[in-house]
Amino acid sequence: MKTLKTLTAALLLSASAASMAQADTIRFWTTEEQPERLAKQQEIADAFKEETGNEVQVIPVTESELGTRATAAFAAGDLPDVIYLTVQYVLPWAEAGILDAEINDEIVNDLGIDTFAPGAIEMAQFEGMTAAVPVDGWTQMIIYRKDLFDEAGLAPPDSYENIAAAIEALHNPPEMYGFVAATKIDENFMSQVLEHVFLANGVTPVDEDGFKPLDEAKTIEVLDFYKTLADASPEGELYWQQSRALYFDGKAAMIIWSPFILDELAGLRDSAPPTINDDPTSTKLAQMTDVVTTFSGPSNPDGAAWADIRYLGVTADATNLDVAADFIKFSMDEGYMNTLSMAPEGKFPVRRGTADEPSKFVDEWATLPVGVDRKAPLADLYPEETVQKIVTGLETANRWGVKEGQLALASKMINSQIINQVVREYIDGEISGEEAVEKLNSELSGIN
């Protein structure tokens, strides 16, 4: 018996050693480098190791340095196995060979391409493949006073026409402004809002070949609409701060903002409390609020949502494709709620569920706590239909230049603030619509 026990122990030891020998270590670059977010990602890595035996080294990379670091690592043949990246890198890196588009496409199909938000998939299309795996994202939103809309019998502000009608009915300064438009030309906030407004009417300054002259008729529709917003706003240089302050004070019917306002609206952040009443922790304003993520212009009935999407991608230098792919699948399935819980108000689930449970991840995401000084799930703060609207913007997610492979050029155009300047000249009555379009085309054509 002693000999049998010894033999059994030796066999077990041998099997354990073989298992250890087969275990692998992969490297994972992430731009989510805040300590609490790194801790969440380490939890995912630890759970993956416990399930598979494979180790993941979580390596923080500053987002502003990601492009140069990846390019240098690619040249040296030293890319990590997996990278968490922003949408602007997906297509250029697929074309350059930094991402392994084939394996990433396989991952998406193994998880079920129909379980992802179509907009996030479309923004990553490269030669018939999904070049990276959509993870999370957020969409810009029209925040509006649903109680006032309901009282006035107004349709939701999901089109130029409906927004203009709501302004006509609700604009009554100084008690209530119909809108708070972004008019401060040196603020990125104005650039972001304007891109959304242009996208809504199907207007873009780029195509597959680079600069594309703006369509005069469609662009004048955009300019006229933005003037309507500006005319319904207070005077002065307006950006995110004034729009939030006026809405929180109950003096704005509509604003455009990111979803990072959602916890503040509900009185969960002491540094930015709602002031509509005397209780800075009140959820009253949140209960009177609804959102629109996709809205349309007269020349684009389907509308669009401005979105920021993040992706996971296996790289060309991955040492073990199977382990890298399994880690991404784990992060998008068993570990998905941990992934989203880093900042639920700004990390919408781009994978909505599984084939068997189509809304599984959206439903679970709605129960994740948001807030800073106090915490509560979005599902406790907003009606179910509002929570659903928050994530449906990912269906029509868009950005200038993504589908055309010209995001870098479009970004230069936006960052030049030329669009802000010309739009401001138009809404101030300094130039005509035709002059504005001509000036935009002249200035934007010189950017490369």
Reported as a pLDDT band with limits 50, 70 and 90, residue 407 is confident
pLDDT at 246 over 50: yes
Do 73 and 178 lie in one domain? The reply is no
When pLDDT is averaged across residues 24-38 and rounded to a whole number, the result is 96
Do 178 and 267 lie in one domain? The reply is yes
CATH number of the domain encompassing residue 362: 3.40.190.10
Q: Are 260 and 346 in contact (CB under 8 A)?
A: yes
In the chain, the percentage of residues whose pLDDT exceeds 70 is 95
> Mean pLDDT, the chain, as a whole number?
93
Do 176 and 82 lie in one domain? The reply is no
Q: Are 411 and 401 in contact (CB under 8 A)?
A: yes
CA 231 to chain centre: 29
Range of the domain at 285: 140-306+397-445
pLDDT at 409 over 80: yes
When pLDDT is averaged across residues 100-108 and rounded to a whole number, the result is 98
Does residue 39 belong to any structural domain of this protein?
yes
2 vs 359, higher pLDDT: 359
Report how far residue 263's alpha carbon sits from residue 286's, in angstroms, rounded to the nearest whole number: 9
Quick: pLDDT tens for 60-73.
999 999 999 999 99
Report how far residue 93's alpha carbon sits from residue 89's, in angstroms, rounded to the nearest whole number: 6
Q: What is the pLDDT of residue 22?
A: 61
pTM over 0.85: yes
pLDDT at 231 over 70: yes
Say which DSSP state 215 is in: P
H helix count then E strand count, the chain: 21, 17
Query: Half-sphere exposure of residue 380, counting CA atoms within 13 Å on the CB side?
Result: 14
Do 191 and 229 lie in one domain? The reply is yes
Q: What is the pLDDT of residue 403?
A: 84
Q: What is the pLDDT of residue 9?
A: 43
When pLDDT is averaged across residues 192-203 and rounded to a whole number, the result is 97
Domain boundary among 379, 394, 409: 394
Do 164 and 269 lie in one domain? The reply is yes
Do 297 and 155 lie in one domain? The reply is yes
Reported as a pLDDT band with limits 50, 70 and 90, residue 408 is confident
Does residue 13 belong to any structural domain of this protein?
no
Four-residue CA torsion sign, 403, 408, 414, 418: negative
Do 193 and 281 lie in one domain? The reply is yes
Residue 336 tokens read as: 């998905």
Report how far residue 268's alpha carbon sits from residue 373's, in angstroms, rounded to the nearest whole number: 6
DSSP labels, 86-144: EHHHHHHHHHHTSB-HHHHHHHHHHH-GGGB-HHHHHTTEETTEE-SEEEEEEE-EEEE
Report how far residue 1's alpha carbon sits from residue 23's, in angstroms, rounded to the nearest whole number: 33
* List of residues 6+ apart from 67 with CB closer than 8 A: 89
Domain boundary among 373, 394, 415: 394
Q: What is the pLDDT of residue 20?
A: 41
What is the DSSP pairing of strand 129-130 with strand 125-126? Answer: antiparallel
pLDDT at 300 over 90: yes
Reported as a pLDDT band with limits 50, 70 and 90, residue 4 is very low
Q: What is the pLDDT of residue 374?
A: 95
pLDDT at 14 over 50: no
Report how far residue 109's alpha carbon sits from residue 112's, in angstroms, rounded to the nearest whole number: 5
Does residue 1 belong to any structural domain of this protein?
no
Do 173 and 90 lie in one domain? The reply is no
Q: What is the pLDDT of residue 397?
A: 86
Quick: pLDDT tens for 260-285.
999 999 999 999 999 999 999 999 99
CA 224 to chain centre: 28
pLDDT at 396 over 90: no
Q: What is the pLDDT of residue 118?
A: 93
When pLDDT is averaged across residues 373-400 and rounded to a whole number, the result is 91
Quick: pLDDT tens for 108-167.
999 999 999 999 999 999 999 999 999 999 999 999 999 999 999 999 999 999 999 999
- Of 20-24, 302-306, 364-368, the poorest mean pLDDT is in 20-24
Reported as a pLDDT band with limits 50, 70 and 90, residue 18 is very low
Closest CA to 79 of 314, 329, 326, 311: 314
Do 161 and 291 lie in one domain? The reply is yes
Do 270 and 387 lie in one domain? The reply is no
